[in-house]
Structure formats: C-alpha cells, structure tokens
Amino acid sequence: MTGPDNINGISRRERKKKSDLFVCPLGGMGEIGKNLTVFGYGEDYIVIDCGLKFPEEDMLGIDFVIPDATFLVENKSKIRGIFITHGHEDHIGALPFILPRLDVPVYCSRLAGGLIENKMLDANTGYHPDFRYVEACDKVSAGCFEVEFIQMCHSIPDAFALVVHTPAGAIVHSGDFKFDPTPIDGNRADYSALARLGDEGVLLLMSDSTNVERPGSTPSEKMIGQTFERLFRLYKDRRIVVATFSSNLNRTRMIFATAARFNRKVLLVGRSMVANVELALRLGTLDVPEGQMISAQEAEELPDNRVVILTTGSQGEPFSGLVMMSRGTHRQVKLGSKDLVIISATPIPGNEKLVSQTVNRLFACSAEVIYERDEKIHVSGHASRDELMLMLSLTRPRFFVPCHGEYRHLVRHAQLAREMGVNAKNIFILQNGDILKFNGSSKAEVAGHAPADAVLIDGFVLGEFEGSILRERREMAENGVVVVSVVLNGDMRPAAPVQIQTRGSVYSSEDGGTLRELESAVLAALAQFSRSPGARRETLPTEIRKRIREKLDMNPRCYPTIIPLVTYI
C-alpha cells in the first residue's frame, strides 16, 4: 500500500517521517444520528458532517441533540473546512449551532448548501456560511489533505462518499449509501472509483453500519414506484395523502411523477416540505410539470380523486402537517372516510410510539391508513449486509472502523469485516470522542479521548450537556413542584403571609392540613435563620428546602422539586 508519490506537495519520503494522523468521531458511534468526524495531521484538521440526533422518549421537552463542539472550538485555527456527504439532518442539522463558532468553509453540493442555508434562516443565526460547492469526482485541497467526492446512492440526491487522501494513506468515508442498480435520479454509485481506490490501496474504511443486520441487499427505490402505481389505481376515487421525510427528495420525485400519470394535482403541506421542494425546483434537482403544484384553495375546488396531499409528519412530530390533520386541528385539510393516508417512512428509533399514536388517530378520523407493515411503501436508503460486503471487497482496506449505527450494529459490522479478510487487530469499534492515531500505515491505536458529550437543544436555545437539565425535568415530571414565596422586612422577619403553591405534586395546594404543616416548617426555618448570628442571605433558601424536606419525608417515595422565592423589602 504505497499511495500516490505526491500529495499536495508532500513526497512519499517526507510522509514517512511523520506519523501523527488521527481520526476522532465526536458523534455517530453507538447511535443513529449526530454524525461528526474529525481528521487531523499535524496542524491541519478537517471535519466530515455535522449532524443532529432526534431526542429519545425520556428527553422531556428536548427538540434534538447535537455533538459537543468543545474539541473543534479549541482547535478552530487548525480546521481547514467542513465536508458534507449529503443533506440529511443527521449530517447537517448541527451546523447552525457549531459553524458560526468555527467560521470555516463548508464543502458540499448545491442541494446540501441550500438545505443548510434554510436551517441557518430557521435558527435566525445571522451567519452566512462560506459555501464551496462541489460535484461528483471533484477533488479539494485542504491543508495537507486532498478530499475526493465519489457519487453514491441514498434517499436524497447528491450523496457522496469522501476519500481523504492523507500523507499516511487514503481514508474512505462511505457516508450513508446503498448500491441501488436502478436509482430514481439515474445516478448510480461509482463502483469504478471505489475499485480504483482498492487497487491503489486504502489505509482505512469508515462505513455506514445502519442495516448490517439485514440480509441481502436493500431493495431499489423503484420498487416503491410500483407500489404507488398500484395504490393510486386501487384508490382512484379517493383523495390521497402521502407523508414522508421532507428531505427524501427521491421519494418526492416519485410521488409527483405518479400523481401526474393519474392526472392528479399535488398540494404541499408542512413548512419544511414546501421549502425543500422549492429549493429542489430552483436547483433543477426536481422537475415538476407547470401547474401540477396547487394551493389549498385550488385543492378545495377539485374533486377528491384529482388531489394528492404531500405532507410532513411521517415521524409523528407534534406540530407536523399529518399530526395536525390526525388531531383535526389543521386549518386547510380535514380528513374523513374519503381519504387514503400513506405513511411512506419507517419510524426512527425512539419515534415508534409517536407514529403509532398518529396512526390510531388517523383511523379514528375514518381514513384508510397504509403504513409499512401493510404494504411495501418504504425502502431504506442504507446498505444491507451484501452491499456492505461489496464495499469491503471493492476497497480492501488495511484498517476498518464501522460507523453510523447503534453499538450492536458496529459489532456486527466489525464481525463482517473479519469475515471479509480484514485483520482483527486492524478493526476498531470506537466510541464518540476516541482518538484513533496511526503510526504510518502499519499500526494504529486508540490514544486519547476528546470531549464528546451530547448537547441538548430546546427550540433554538443551546442547552447544557446531557445530565443536569434532563435530571431536573424528570424529577419535576415524576414528582411535581412545590413553590414557596417568602417576603422579609429589614429585620429579616416575615412582612407578609407565607405563600405555598404546588404543581403536579401529590401534595395539593387545596390540602389545608399539609399546607399548614409546610408553612410551619418555613416559619421555623425563618426563626432559626434570624437567631443565627452572621447568617448569610444566600443560605436561607437551603434552610427552607431542608425544613420542607423533613416534613415531606413521611412519604419517602415522593420528592417534589422545592423552589424557595425570597423577597427582601
């Protein structure tokens, strides 16, 4: 494995003198989403992807989760750019929160750039990224690195695998991919480029592990087209509502094409759906006949069998178009017995309950509902086991790191790599933050760890690391809140009656006996405080909590959050 004689002006002899190449994933290991990986050599760093993860069920009130950017911010002077594999949120969604703190160029397709720009506007960051647009087969120099973009198939156009040519050898980062022989947009994965890299020598392969447990190959997207054709023909007398990911533009292309063949017009519902379709039309990624997209008012004037509603909400998102329809609160669309609803997506792990609740409400609206367990109305955008074997066979890497999957997926993918002939000593199952260092092209080891906590986002507010904020919310959700308001005069004596309110607690504000006991506890705390010479004001809330806790210890399984509010006049 020798690689090219010269990379960005560094000869093979000079490369041998250096051995400080490292790879550090800050997200995407042992989880679905939050993908971000740092590559470093000397004083040059690059970043691949910068995504978010949707919250788990117990993350109360959290909208999404992003990687910890501490390591990036501390080394931002060394970062030569962020390279984007494709425009899905688990690969670009954290950029509004991280990119303005780094202020480095973003290398991506025009489609991904447009999606990133939309997210920046939504977050109201006021930051305008420095986009450097690329296409398949392009090569970009970034410090001592050269990054090559290879066409791949996924559920969104312009998906790339990235080849990072380093002084120590070539690293192939697969991105999200599958080997679809009949892609909707006609752009097949570039097998020849992957085979060429295998012939030249691949130091490290980092490969998508999402579907490693699925045998065979992932079905082609064209299979979904056949299902839509059959359903449109079978339900030709009904209005059809299709819910899918707004970023799944290949699926969107198919729905428009099928609607046109059955002489139906398309109404877009959901802000992200409208924004993404308009972007794709502007860039030429999507081709829609003039007049096929209609407004809500035009849809009302057409017969049911002439309308298709394309909406967001396939994951049961609370304020999405489909969910509002299912609740009967959507201003423009009311569902009934003359509607067919097709949910063309599978639930993201953690969203199963939300999707199930949405399906139940749709049935309660008397609509006919078709979802994955009934029909083949969704295929994955990720490679199954046979395709992962093909990726390993084409690239023939010396080292292997499975990525983009839960921990069991990474383990299964590592086992597959061993079966395909990769030396077991050269396979690394990394955790977020692990720093994998290479000693030339012959040896690698995990040597160090970077901060890689999860950062919680509530709305567009950057929250704390996963821990304290969730612990507080869980405590309040489980046991409620007791709020104590105390007004003191200059002599540190009560100037008004003690006020106690409870919310979500078994100790009700209407329970006079309990409230009198709590009030006496507060007054005892105030008396103790006033008798203590040199007592500091800031210690009073702690004393109040202590006294109330003593009263509530009669029920040791219920510990409401106690919030003292002390006012001095």
Is the CB of residue 478 less than 8 Å from the CB of residue 504? no
Q: Which of 48, 376, 433, 53 is nearest to 220 (CA)?
A: 376
List the beta bridge partners of residue 173: 162, 206
Task: Name, in order, each residue with C-beta under 8 angstroms of 441's C-beta and a sequence gap of 6 or more.
Answer: 1, 3, 168, 169, 203, 398
Q: Which of 426, 421, 416, 417 is nearest to 446 (CA)?
A: 426
Chain-centre distance for alpha carbon 194: 28
Task: Name, in order, each residue with C-beta under 8 angstroms of 281's C-beta and a sequence gap of 6 or more.
Answer: 287, 288
Active site residues: 208, 382
**What's the CA gap between 254 and 306, in Å, rounded?**
17
Using CA atoms, how far residue 561 sits from 184, 244, 516, in Å, is 54, 41, 19
Is the CB of residue 506 less than 8 Å from the CB of residue 555? yes
**What's the CA gap between 160 and 147, in Å, rounded?**
11
Q: What DSSP state is assigned to residue 284?
A: T
Take residue 503 and report the two structure tokens written for it: 């919310």
Using CA atoms, how far residue 332 sits from 270, 309, 452, in Å, is 11, 11, 44
Task: Name, in order, each residue with C-beta under 8 angstroms of 90's C-beta and a sequence gap of 6 or more.
Answer: 32, 33, 34, 35, 51, 52, 53
